[in-house]
Chains A and B, each alone.
Chain A
Amino acid sequence: MAVLQQLIFALVLGATYGLIAVGLTMVYGILKILHVAHAGIYALGAYIALSVLQHLTPNFWGALAIAMLTTGLAGVLIYRGVYYYTLRRSRIVPLIVSIGIFTAMNELFRLVAGPYQHSFPAKPGLPTLITPYFVITSKQLLILILTAAFLIALYLILNRTKVGLAWQACSQDLEMAGAMGVNVDWAVALNFFLGSALAGAAGVLMALYRNMVYPTMGHVVAYKAFVVVVLGGFGSVRGCILAGLLLGVVETFLGSLEWFEFPRDAIAFLVLILVLMFRPKGLFGRL
Chain B
Amino acid sequence: MPIGYILTVGTFTGIFMILTVSLNVLTGYAKQVSLGHAAFFAIGAYASAILTVKFGLSFWAALPCVVGITTLVGVFLGLPSLRVSHDFLVLSTIGLNFIVGSVFRYFSFFGGSMGIVGIPMPEFFGHPLGTAGFFGLTLLFVILTILTSFYFSRTWGRLAMEAFGEDEVAAKAMGINVAKFKIYAFAISSAYAGIAGALWAHYVGSVFPDNFGFDRSIDILAMLVLGGMGTIRGAVFGALVLQMLPEGLRVIQNYRMLVSGGILALMILFQPMGLLGRGSFLVKGFERLRGRLVSHEAEDMP
Contact = CB atoms under 8 A, between A and B. Distances in A.
B102 A276 contact: no
Contacts of A230: 88, 91
B86 interface: yes
A15 B83 CA distance: 29
B84 A280 contact: yes
B103 interface: yes
A34 B257 contact: no
B96 A99 contact: no
A90 to B, nearest CB: 8
Given A97-B268, A280-B83, A107 B33 contact: no
A104 to B, nearest CB: 3
Nearest to B91: A226
B68 interface: no
Contact of A227 (B91, B257, B268): B91
Contact of A100 (B86, B95, B102, B261): B261
Main secondary structure of the interface of A (DSSP, over half): helix
B98 interface: yes
Q: Which of A93, A105, A107 has the most CB of B within 10 A?
A: A107
B258 A108 contact: yes
Interface stretch (A160-168, A239-247, A261-269): A261-269
Contacts of B31: 90, 92
A2 to B, nearest CB: 24
Q: Which of B96, B261, B262, B266 has the most CB of A within 10 A?
A: B261
A171 interface: no
B35 interface: yes
B80 A277 contact: yes
Contact of A99 (B79, B84, B221): B221
A95 interface: yes
Contacts of A102: 261
B265 interface: yes
A273 B102 contact: no
Interface stretch (A132-140, A191-199, A215-223): A215-223
B214 A219 contact: yes
B87 interface: yes
A47 interface: no
Contact of B265 (A101, A106, A263): A101
Interface string A82-111: 100110011111011101111111111011
Contacts of A101: 261, 265
Interface of A: 32, 34, 36, 82, 85-86, 89-93, 95-97, 99-108, 110-111, 219-220, 222-223, 226-227, 230, 234, 261-263, 265-266, 268-269, 272-273, 276-277, 280
Given A93-B269, A99-B264, A277-B83, 17 more contacts: A96-B33, A96-B221, A97-B268, A97-B269, A99-B33, A99-B35, A100-B260, A100-B264, A101-B261, A104-B261, A107-B258, A230-B91, A265-B102, A272-B92, A273-B80, A273-B92, A277-B79
30 contacts: A34-B90, A82-B269, A89-B272, A90-B166, A95-B90, A97-B264, A100-B264, A100-B265, A103-B264, A104-B265, A106-B261, A111-B255, A220-B98, A222-B94, A223-B95, A226-B88, A227-B95, A234-B86, A263-B102, A263-B105, A265-B99, A266-B98, A268-B95, A272-B80, A272-B91, A276-B84, A276-B88, A276-B92, A277-B83, A280-B83
